[in-house]
Amino acid sequence: MPRVSGLSKREASHLNCRDAMLRVSGLSKREASHLNCRDAMPRVSGLSKREASHLNCRDAKPRVSGLSKHEASRLNCRDAMPRVSGLSKREASRLNCRDAMPRVSGLSKREASRLWFVETRSLASEL
Q: How far is CA 13 from CA 74, 98, 101, 114, 119, in A?
A: 27, 9, 13, 10, 11
What pLDDT shows up at residue 33? 55
Per-residue confidence in pLDDT tens, the chain, 127 aa: 334 445 555 555 555 555 554 454 555 666 555 545 444 444 444 556 665 555 444 444 444 445 555 555 554 444 444 444 555 656 555 544 444 444 445 555 455 444 423 223 333 333 3
Number of other CB atoms surrounding residue 94 within 10 Å: 12
CA atoms within 13 A on the CB side of 47: 24
Alpha helix segments (H runs only) across 2-68: 2-5, 9-12, 17-25, 29-32, 37-45, 49-53, 57-65
The pTM assigned to this predicted structure is 0.20
